[in-house]
Amino acid sequence: MERLWLVLAIIAFFLLCLWGMYVGWRRKSRSQSAQLPPFPSIPETPGEALLESTGVYVATTTAGNWQDRVVTRGAGLRTGAVWRLHDGGVAVERGGAPDFWIPRDAITGVRRDTKIAGKVMGTDALLVLTWRLGDAELDTGFRGDDLDDYPQWIERIQIKGGAQ
């Protein structure tokens, strides 16, 4: 009987922890919804795709703070994704989560990195775009299936669009 109570106490503690994480996630989402405008939608006719890469959308964080994940409006969900570079911006098409558009003139930087929002990888395996959304500056990370595409992304974005 004593063992049963111990097991029930451990299960109750575990469920309480899960509930606390859920409440925290919801609270952060509501707070960010008030601070950040909605992510731009992909235009109906974005033009010809200059580059396309498949992989995983890892996360969006506040710029320079790789652990401060943006969770509002589905941005906190790690999903399979296709990134397409167009003259006007980058289309982020995600499976099972809302797609969004990063306008070319909002991009302030592009780089390879090793970490973003709890995901740490070796050998600069992430492609990170830094961009402005309203008054906020964000980092959006992508783990491509083919890391050899990254130099093309960096070159094309730096040549065509204001990223320094």
Q: Are residues 80 and 129 in the same domain?
A: yes
In this structure, the answer to whether residues 80 and 139 fall within a common structural domain is yes
Residue 18 has what pLDDT?
Answer: 95
| pLDDT computed for residue 159 by the predictor | 58
Note whether residue 86 is domain-resident. Answer: yes
In a domain, 69, yes or no: yes
- Is residue 42 assigned to a domain? no
Residues 8 and 77 grouped into a single domain? no
DSSP 8-state symbol, 99: -
User: Does residue 114 lie within any of the structural domains?
Assistant: yes
State the pLDDT at residue 160.
53
Whether 116 and 82 map to the same domain: the answer is yes
User: Which stretches in the chain have pLDDT values below 70?
Assistant: 159-164
Query: Which of 122, 119, 112 has its CA nearest to residue 56?
Result: 119
Do the domain assignments include residue 46?
no
* 87 is a domain residue: yes
Q: Distances in Å between the alpha carbon of 35 and those of 29, 31, 60, 64, 121?
A: 10, 7, 15, 17, 30
Residues 121-135: tens digit of each pLDDT: 878 899 999 999 989
Same domain, 65 and 144: yes
> Taking the alpha carbons of 116, 81, 137, 104 in that order, is the dihedral positive or negative?
positive
Residue range 9-34, pLDDT digits in tens = 999 999 999 999 999 878 877 777 77
What CATH code is carried by the domain that includes residue 71? 2.30.29.30
Instruction: Give Cα 163 to chain centroid, integer Å.
Output: 19
Do 106 and 153 have their domain in common?
yes
pTM of the shown model: 0.81
The residue segments making up the domain with residue 136 are 51-160
For the chain, the domain total comes to 2
Can you tell me the distance from the alpha carbon of 139 to that of 110, in angstroms, rounded to the nearest whole number? 9
